[in-house]
Structure formats: C-alpha cells, structure tokens
Structure 1
Amino acid sequence: MKKYITKFKGLFFLVLVLTTLCAVIDVYMAYLLSDIVDASISKDMKLFKQSIVIAIIYLATYLFGNLAQKIVKDLYIKKTLVVLKKDVFSKILRKDMADFTDENTANYISILTNDEAIIEQDYFRNIIQLAYFLVSFVISIYSLIKIDYSLILIISIGGAITLVIPQLFSRKLSELRNIYSNKMAVYTSKLKDMFSGFEVIKGFNVVNKVEDNFGEVNETTEKSKFRFSVFNSIVDMISNLFGYSLHIIVMMVGVYLTIKDRITIGELIASVQLMNFIINPFIQSVMIITKMNSTKEITNKVINIIESNQENNELGIKECYQTSINFKDVSFSYSREKAVVSNISLSLEKGKKYAIVGESGSGKSTILKLILGYYKNYQGMIDIDGVNIKSIHPNSICQLICSVQQNVYLFDGTIKDNITLYEDYSEEEINKAIKLAKLQGLIERLPNGINTHVGENGGSFSGGERQRISIARAIIKKTPIILLDEATSAIDIESANLIENSILSSKECTIIAVTHRLTESSLAKYDEIIVINEGTIGEQGNLYKLIDENKYLSKLLSIGQDNTVRIS
C-alpha cells in the first residue's frame, strides 16, 4: 500500500506542505491568546491594537489555508483511490475463469466498495491526519520548552505511556475488523443472490423464507460490526482517560508555575492551548494508529489481489486460424471428485460445422470452455494449429473465437452498446448483424430503435430477444471460430432455424455448437455430430452415418421432440 501513498508525489508533497501550514496556524493561536491576555492584564493598548491586526490576518490565513488544504487533500485521495480501484479491478478482470470463480462475485464487489471505503477513511486520510498531529506536536513542544521546560518532562512521561496502548490492542482490533469485512462480503453476496432471484422468490412464494434468511445474515453482520465498535470504543476510552489525566496534571503544574511567578498568566493560557496540540495528538494518534493497524488484514487482501501473478507478457500472439483445433487425451474436472470430461481426443477442422450433443451434465459446455481457455488445469493437450492453447495470449484467443452462451448477459446500456460492446463499427456492419440475428422486427417496434436502453441485464426484454442481441454481438465480431452453447434455446423454432441457417452459411467460419435440438432438419446442417456420453466421446461423424450405426445418438433422437428423423 506504500507505493500508493506516493503515487502522486507532487500532490502528496503539496498536501504535506499545506497540512504543515495548517498546523502552524492552529498552534499560533496560543501566542495570539497570550498577547491578548497579557495586553489586558498590563493594560497595554499598543499591544492590544497590534493583537487585533494580527488576529485579522490570522483569521484570513486560517480560512484560506484550511480551505486549500482540504481541497488538495481530497484531490490527492480521489486520484489515489481511482488508481487503486482501477488496479484492483484490472487484476480481477485479468484472472482466468478458474481463479475468478473461486470467489463469489459479491466478494469482489465488497472489496471494491466496503473495503476500499475503510482503506480511504482509516488509512489514507489518517496518514495525513498523523502528519498534522506530528507537526503541531513538534511546534508545541518547542514552544513549551521556551515557556518552561518542566512541563515537557511531565508530558513526555505521560505520552510514552499513551503510545504503548495501540500495541496492546492492535492485534485484537485488526482481527475484529477483518471479521466484520468478511461478514460484509457475505452480506453483499446474499443481497446479490436475493435480488437476482427476485422472480423465483415471488414465483415460488418463498418471500417469508428469504426474509428469514436475510434477517439471519443481517443480524450476524451487524453483530460483528457491534463487536468491533464496542472494542474500538473501549480502546478509545482508555486512550482518552490517559490523555485527560495528563491534561489535568499539566494544567495543575502550570497553575503552580504561575503562582511561583515563573510564567505569566498569558503564558499559562498559551500553555493550556499548546497542551491541546500536544496531548490531543497523543490521544488522537493512539486512536489513528490503532485504526490503521486494524486495516492490516484488509489492506493485505487488496495488495494480494494487486500483486497476484496474472501477467501474460510471456504468452504468444496468434493472429490467424489456419487448420484445426485439436484435443489430445484431454481430461478435466472442476473438483477432484469426478472428471467432467475424460480422455477426449478430437480434431475440429477449419470451416467445418460441428454439433455437440448429449444429455445434460455430460460435459458438452465444458468442452467449449476449454477451447476458450477458461481453464488451464486439465490433463492432456489442446492446440490451435499445433500451438498449445496454454501458450497463446488470452487476447489472441478472443480475436480468434467468439462464443454465444445460453444464459445471456446484457450490460445496462443501449441495444447498440450491447451489440458493439462499445467498439467502433460502421452502420453497414451493425445493420448486417441485426439482420442475420433477426432483430429488425424488435428494433423497428421500439420508439428509440437501436438506442433503446435494455435495463439491468436486459430486464426489459424476453429471453429470446436477449439471445438475438447476443447472437448479433457474436456475428459483428467476425471471428473465424464461433462457439454456440444453446444459443437459440429461448427463440421460437422458426426464427431459430433462420438464425442457425444464417450463421452456418459462412463457409470460412468454423462453428462448434452445443445443442439439444435433436431433429433431422437441424442436425443435418452440420458436417459432424459429436456425441458426448458421461464425459467421453461416444460417437462422431455424419448424422446419417451415426443413425445407421443405431447407437447412443439413435437413443437420444428417439426421445427427441421430432419424430420425423429417419432411423434405419
């Protein structure tokens, strides 16, 4: 986290300079009060008039100095947090699929919201506050030495005791702060799940059950916050007790020195004022150091994300697809318990159209995810044109392969934004993608056409309309390889056939489609059918060849919805 403190060195230095100026201005108040009191006691009109002029200058300097410091401080914190959040977000975004899915997405949201807010308040702002206390403390110490050195001896002893307090409680406070942070991550995760499943909650009438579930999570979260707050309050009270005790003792010594004529009443007033800039910094510094220590687990969590090794600089660039995608004895499992795919070997040639079929959970979608490079922890070899996919930069894979998922995600923007994903395309390219995806009718019915906002995750549109937008998104990218995972499952049969025909009509494009549409009219369009049975390739070949063999595919076809399929 230290590198972010000095990320903007010039601005940070300016903040420190202005903070020093503010500390000097605040401490000088003691001298001003001393002169005013002494002028009153000695009836010195010249000193009184001089004090009035100085007071006016002082107030103007105080106003502009503090205003400038606050503006520059907020600017520095804003710029620093923008960079910090950007770095965290970028590292999360560059995780591979396996690493990303190890965490609930709500945990990432919690880090970028709750944890970042804690770091801002209890780390960055407190560092600047500590600088203020340090400067005011040093100046006040120097001033008190000039008034009477015996006051410093008492303050030094009391201050040394006060500084020990953070070390006594920091570990426990850090532990409680981290527990609260983790509970907030769970709370955020539950909220996300509940609001995402709103339709299910209402449809299955489980409102009361979900309310109870929320109540438990909410209670647990607030309980962890309460425990942290109570312990933090205890530490603050102990710090305040020592600070106030020291204040009273120093005040009594000051009165004694006044009685003994070692200092004037004005100097006594100045001493009291200066003690505020010595004792209060002790008290506040203890609290600040304790809070900063309590953020250790949270800052470590953030730094671990930033420093995680997700760099792909050593990976190669592949600019074109030439011959084939090859699986050689590939096995993979999401957990160690059971392999999802086992000993898969196949070659997917350029320009051909492949349909992957099989029962739910057989491993069809997993094959697509492995082609996309989402997971690296598989056994065997996957290559594109003989180049190991693990050695290809993810950006290159994205330039070669585009996928359309069954569960479409739309960003909260316009239809156009969701088709182009904010890239620059010509009107002709956009219109062509819309036409091929059969979106013209929808867009023509909308008052704002292609500039219509889709709402949160396309909530304004049906599942079929969202899939059409997703298909247009894939078409416009013009990648040589397109992966379709139940891409038209929510679209009516007639429109689905038209879209499928449009996509398959591209001679140069390699299509690999996972489908449950087990009809002759649909499967006959593909060059090869790959039948997956319990994670292995059961059959592979032309549709009618596989039907004639009368094996597993025939069984799948016999329970399909289309009874017109010819079975020899």
Structure 2
Amino acid sequence: MQLKNYLHRFRRENFLMLLVIGIYNVFPVVSNISEGNALTAIAHLRLPQFFKYVSIQLAAYTAYCLMIIVKKRYQEIVTQKIDTAIRSDITGNLSRINYQDYHEKDDGIYVSWLTNDVNTINTQGITEFYAVVDGWVTILFNGISLAFYHYSIVIVVLALSGILIELPKVFRKQLNTASLQMTKANEQLTSRITDALEGFDPLFMLNMRKNIQKQTVAASNSLAKQKISFASLMGLNSAFINFFSVLFQIGMLGFAGWLVWRGIIQVGSIITVSALASQVFGSFTALSFSNMDLHTTQPVFDKFNAVKPENEQDKQSVSALTTGIQVAQLAYTYPDSDHPIMENIHFLFEQGKKYALVGDSGKGKSTLLNILAGKLLNYQGRITYDGIDYQKLSMQSLRQHLLYLDQTPYVFNDTVRNNITLGNYYSEDQLHRALHDSQLDDLINHLPQGIDTMLDHNGRNLSGGQRQRIALARGLISGRNIIMMDKGTSALDNKSADAIELALVNNPNITLIMVTHHLRPEIQKRLDVVYTI
C-alpha cells in the first residue's frame, strides 16, 4: 500500500482533477496581466484601454471565485473515494490475517488506523498531492507568462526557485520521525480511551469512575506532547523557508525595477512581473511544505503494509467431518510464559459423537478448544482432521464446518435477524428452525419489532444468556456440524441450558465438544466420552 497506488487506481478522476486545476489557475494569470496592462494604460492616459483591462480583470477574478467552488467540491469527491479504498484495503487485510496475529494489537489501534491515520493520509497526503499539482501548474502558467516580458526574468526566477526546492531537505528526517511518533500516540489515545470506556461497569461498582478521566487525560497529554513537538518542527521549517521566499520576492521586485530603469519593460509591467514571480515563489514554497507532508505519510503506510494476510494458497480444503479429529502428543505454551499450559495430550473426537472436557481451571481446556478451532497455531504435537494434518489444512475451510461458542459472544449493533444471518440469505423456515433450536422464540415474541428489532452495541440491551442464544443460532443456521462450546451456556438458567444442551447431544449430525465446570448428570449420561485435563 502506497499513496501512488491509490492515485493510479483513480487515475481517471485524477486526470479530471488536473483539468480542473488547470482551468482554475488560468484566471489569476489573466487577472495579474490585466492589472499590469491597466496600470500601463492609465500611465499613458489611455482611459478606454484602462477600463477594458479592469473589466477583463474583474471577469477573470469572478471566474476564479466560481472555480474555487468547483475545485473544492470535486477534490473532496475524489478524496473520499480514495479514503474509502484505503479503509477497504486495511479491513480487507485484517480480515485475512490469523487469529493470533490480529490479537497482537488492541482493537483501539485498528480503529485509530481507520480514523486518525486515514485522516492523516487525507490531510498530509491526498490534499498535499493536489497542492503539489496545483503548485506545478501555477509555476508553469506564471513562468510562461514571465517569459513574454523578458527571458532574464525566467532565468533569475528559476535560479532562485532551485534554492527553494532544496531548503525543505534540512528538516525532512526530523519531520518523518516526529510524524511516526504522532501516529503512535494517536493509536495509544484511541486504545486507552476505548479501554477506559469499556471498563465503565466494573469502575462504576468500585466507585472508581474517575479512572476514566485519569486514563484519558494521561493519554491525551502524551499525544499533545508529540503534536507540539511536530508543530514546533513544522513551524521552524516554515519560518526558514518563508524567510527565503519573501527575500526572493523582494529581490524580484528590485530586479523588475532595474529592467524598467533600463527601458526593457514598461512601468506597469513591474506590478505584473512582481505578482507573477510571487506566485512562482509562493508555489515553490508551498511545494516544499507539501513534499515534506507527502513524505510523512509513508511511515503510516508502512504500518499498514506490516499486516500480512494469511497465505493459504498451498493449504488443503476440507469437507464436512466424516471420521474424526485426532489429537496426539499435544502441548502448548503461551508466548508470555515459560511453562506449557498443557502437554502430552492424546484425544480422539469421532464424527457425530458428544464429548465434554472437564478439569480444574487453568489446565488448558479452553486452550485446547482454541487450537482445535484454528485460533492458536503455534502448538507442538499433531492434530489430524479426517487423517489430514492440521498444519496442511486451510483454516478458513475448517471454520466453514465449525462453530465456536464462548461465554461472551459478540453481538453487532444491528437487527436480531442480521445478527443471526450475518447478511447471508436463509429461508424463513431455516431461520425459524434456528430460533427454535437455540431457544430464542420467547425473546423474539417479546421484542418490539420482533426479529427485526435493532440491538445495541455488543448486545447491551440483552442478557448474557440471550447473547449466547443468538451466537448459537448463527452456527445452527449456517449448518456447521462441529460445535465447540467453551462454557457456551454458562449465562443461561439451568432449564434453558439443559434444553439447548439436550438438543445438541441428541442431534446425530453434530459433533459436540464442550468445556464445562458444571457437568449436569442428565447431560453427562448422554455423552460418549468425558475427557479430564
């Protein structure tokens, strides 16, 4: 991912933007030339010509003002298209990375990428690219106009402009470093605020809600420090470049006066030459800043490019389970630990049979389920699916046949229907069957808009048990025939939990693996095997 790739992707829109910028820049040149001609005319007491050039200047300025509206609007249209494409590519890459890689970063960091960082690219990349195009068009049009007055003017302007182009390199390295530090501080702010706000409930019960304010202020101060540092560098660079820009403009005014004194150009031309040269120097100054800003976006894209989608090109796809899943000599150690949470595990899960994993907390039951579900990959030992080694399997293909249900399933800020179907089409019969099997009928009947009732973020207007039922319905309607439940009915009352678990253990088409701390006798007697870890 690089800015130039997106500019090329939308090359048609950018070509039209170039035309708009070209037309936009014609009118100031016409206005400046008309102003000089009007001054020359009145100096020679040619009143009709004076009013003629004043009228042309007024018309050119009016057209210029109208083009400002056109340019601003069309630039925003193209910018938003590019912004959307960048967000699409970021989320596309995130959707193709594995579980462990995704969770190496906090959700708040990804949110910052899609908001703060895209906004940085917008303001310091896309906007500045168009400023660069605008600057070069301005230089071209004004430079050609200056050549009509005298070739020496162009030579002097180009020589001084060459100096202006080199000046930004003095601070480029420091600005790139400061820009990267600022984007990281933005990530930390978003992450800390998200963490603090999502922790409102426990902080409320502990009378520690002021921690939200403390965390936010601390993160905000850290960001403020980086922004002040970046602004200071930008200010120093701006003052440095602007000093020379103004110095060169004054020098050009003196040079134009010398040309008038020599009789090479007319007196009115001193205004035009000064104005056109100022436009050139101003554009080169703006180009210096814009080029610097463009360079500061590269570290942002480098972060995005560090996300490496999961490569399953040589992996084997699987169909529905026919024989079973075999676990042999399995061990797993978490990255931040020196000791394995489990080792030397040998289990067999046959197709259509029902299993429970029991044992003390912290012995690896949930870890085993996460490995079987393809979430944790860096295990030791061997796992096979219908005789095929897990390491050779396409995990995406595996997940097509598997439902993983934990204690805290996620509910989207959408309708109950869309939370179950996730945008896929299912018949009404399939939908009602999933609702019935997951014990959701009663909930749907009591909701104001039934199955089309909108749910709050993460199902805040539902109980824990209701969220678990919705997650179960998602898996059932999709026809997944391996169900892994990590205390997946823990938030339900005993009657509801028994009803759901009985429905699952009595379904001959389902392979059930459940982790539980409370294995009820009526469920246990229907299980094929209870494994203890």
TM-score (norm 2): 0.95
Distance 1:413 1:495 in 2: 25
Corresponding residue of 1:238: 240
Query: In the aligned structure 2, how far is the partner of 1:423 from the partner of 1:256?
Result: 77
Match of 1:6, SS state, is helix
Is residue 406–residue 488 contact of structure 1 (8 Å, CA) maintained in 2? yes
Q: What amino acid does structure 1 have at the position aligned with 2:326?
A: N
Aligned to 1:31: 33
SS at structure 2 position matched to 1:507? coil
Change (3 A) 1:245 1:219: same
Residue in structure 2 matching 1:198, options 197, 200, 203: 200
Other-structure match for 2:404: 403
Query: 2:101 aligned to 95, 99, 111, which one?
Result: 99
Residue 520 of structure 2 corresponds to 519
Amino acid at match of 1:136: T
Preserved CA contact (<8 Å) 1:326 1:348: yes
CA deviation after TM superposition for structure 1 residue 375, in Å:
2.3
Partner residue, 1:185: 187
Deviation string, structure 1 residues 379-412 (Cα, Å, up to 9, x no partner)? 2222211122233323321221111111111000
Shift of 1:372: 1.5
- Who is 2:300 aligned against? 298
Alignment of 1:1-16 (within 5 A): 1=2, 2-16=4-18
Q: Is the 8 A contact 2:323 2:350 kept in 1?
A: yes
For the residues of structure 1 that align with 2:33 and 2:211, how far apart are their CA atoms? 66
1:171–1:294 CA contact under 8 A, matched in 2: no
Per the alignment, in what secondary structure is the counterpart of residue 484 of structure 1?
Answer: strand
CA contact under 8 A between 2:17 and 2:75: conserved in structure 1? yes
Counterpart residue number, 1:320: 320
Distance in 1 between the 2:64 and 2:305 partners? 38
Counterpart of 1:168 in structure 2 is 170
1:280 to 279, 282, 295: 282
The aligned amino acid for 1:319 is S
Paired with 2:114 and 2:473, the residues of 1 have a C-alpha distance of 32
Structure 1 residue runs without a partner (length 5+): 533-568
Question: Deviations 1:441-475 (Å, cap 9, x if unpaired)?
Answer: 22212221111111010001111121121222222
In structure 2, how many angstroms separate the alpha carbons of the residues matched to 1:299 and 1:350? Answer: 46
Aligned equivalents of 1:69, 1:222: Cα separation in 2:
33
Instruction: Give 1:430's aligned residue.
Output: 431
Q: Which residue of 2 aligns with 1:387?
A: 388
In 2, Cα distance between equivalents of 1:31 and 1:105: 57
What amino acid is the match of 1:114? Answer: N
User: Counterpart of 1:338?
Assistant: 339
CA contact (8 A) 2:28 2:61 kept: no
> Cα distance, 1:55 vs. partner?
4.1
Correspondence 1:250 to 2:257: no
**Letter aligned with residue 58 of structure 1:** A
In structure 2, distance between residues paired with 1:53 and 1:153: 32
> Match of 2:306, SS?
helix
Q: How does 1:355-394 map to 2 (within 5 A)?
A: 355-394=356-395
Q: Which amino acid aligns with 2:324?
A: S
Q: Distance in 1 between matches of 2:68 and 2:102?
A: 45
Shift of residue 135 of structure 1?
A: 1.6
- Residue in 2 that maps onto 1:509: 510
Given that 2:32 and 2:57 are in contact with CA atoms closer than 8 Å, whether structure 1 keeps it comes out as no
Instruction: Confirm or deny: 8 A CA contact 1:27 1:277 kept in the other structure.
Output: no
Aligned mates of 2:53, 2:439 — CA distance in 1: 83
What residue in structure 1 maps to residue 310 of structure 2?
310
2:440 maps to 439
Pick closer, same or farther for the CA change 1:27–1:303 going to 2, 3 Å. farther
Q: TM-score, normalised by structure 1?
A: 0.89
Deviates more, 1:432-441 or 1:344-353: 432-441
Tell me whether 1:19 sits opposite 2:21 in the alignment: yes
SS at match of 1:141: helix
Q: Distance in 2 between matches of 1:340 and 1:40?
A: 93
Task: Give 1:105 deviation, angstroms.
Answer: 1.6
Question: Equivalent of 1:40, from 31, 42, 48?
Answer: 42
Gap regions ≥5 residues in structure 2:
none
Please say if residues 31 and 56 of structure 2, whose CA atoms lie closer than 8 Å, have aligned partners that are also in contact. no
User: 2 CA distance for matches of 1:128 and 1:398?
Assistant: 45
Instruction: Choose 502-511 or 142-151, whichever is displaced more.
Output: 142-151
CA 1:359–1:414: 2 relative to 1, 3 Å? same
- Is 2:356–2:516's contact at 8 Å kept on the other side of the alignment? yes
Q: Is the 8 A contact 1:158 1:242 kept in 2?
A: no
Distance (whole Å) between structure 1 residues aligned to residue 470 and residue 225 of structure 2: 45
SS at match of 2:93: helix
Amino acid at match of 1:85: R
Quote the Cα distance in structure 2 between the aligned partners of 1:107 and 1:365: 26
**C-alpha displacement at 1:483, in angstroms?**
0.9
Does residue 156 in structure 1 map to residue 158 in structure 2? yes
1:118 aligned residue: 120
Question: What secondary structure does 1:441 align onto?
Answer: helix
What is the deviation of 1:482?
A: 0.8
Shift of residue 140 of structure 1?
1.7
* Corresponding letter in the other structure for 1:320: A
Instruction: Name 1:566's counterpart in structure 2.
Output: none
Deviations 1:118-149 (CA, angstroms, capped at 9, x unpaired): 11111112111111111211222232232133
1:468 partnered with 2:469: yes
* Residues 249 and 281 in structure 2, CA contact (< 8 A), matched pair in contact too: yes
Looking at structure 2, the residues matched to 334 and 95 of structure 1 have their Cα atoms a distance apart, in angstroms, of 19
Matches within 5 A, 1:473-552: 473-532=474-533
Residue equivalent to 1:212:
214
Over the matched positions of the two proteins, sequence identity in percent amounts to 25
Q: Which residue of 1 aligns with 2:147?
A: 145
> 2:97, 2:309 within 8 Å by CA — same for their partners in 1?
no
| Structure 1, 345-354 or 331-340: larger mean CA deviation | 331-340
SS in structure 1 opposite 2:423?
coil
In 2, Cα distance between equivalents of 1:488 and 1:163: 67
- SS state at 1:265 partner: coil
Q: Out of 253-262 and 113-122, give the one that drifted further.
A: 253-262
Letter in 2 for 1:87: D
Rounded to whole Å, the distance in 2 between the matches of 1:338 and 1:32 is: 82
- Distance in 2, Cα, partners of 1:78 & 1:322: 49
Q: 2:27, 2:61 within 8 Å by CA — same for their partners in 1? A: no
SS at match of 1:342: strand
**Kept after mapping to 2: 8 A contact 1:38/1:266:** yes
- Checking the alignment, whether the CA contact within 8 Å between 1:16 and 1:131 is kept in structure 2 is yes
Shift of 1:312: 2.4
CA deviation profile, 1:355-395 (whole Å, cap 9, x unmatched): 01111211111111111211222222222111222333233
Once the two structures are overlaid, the 10-residue window that deviates more, 393-402 or 43-52, is 43-52
Residue pair 2:444, 2:450 contacting (<8 A) in 1 also: yes
Shift of 1:181: 0.8
CA distance in 2, matches of 1:242, 1:479: 70
**Cα distance between partner residues in 2 of 1:62 and 1:217:** 45
SS of match in other structure, 2:268: helix
* 1:400 and 1:479 in contact (8 A); partners too: yes
Question: Quick check: 2:136–2:283 contact (8 Å CA) kept in 1?
Answer: yes
- Which deviates more, 151-160 or 105-114? 151-160
How many Å separate the matches in 2 of 1:43 and 1:11? 49
1:264 alignment partner in structure 2: 266
Q: Deviation of residue 184 (structure 1)?
A: 1.0
1:402 touches 1:477 (CA, 8 Å); kept in 2? no
Q: Provide the alpha-carbon RMSD of the alignment.
A: 1.9
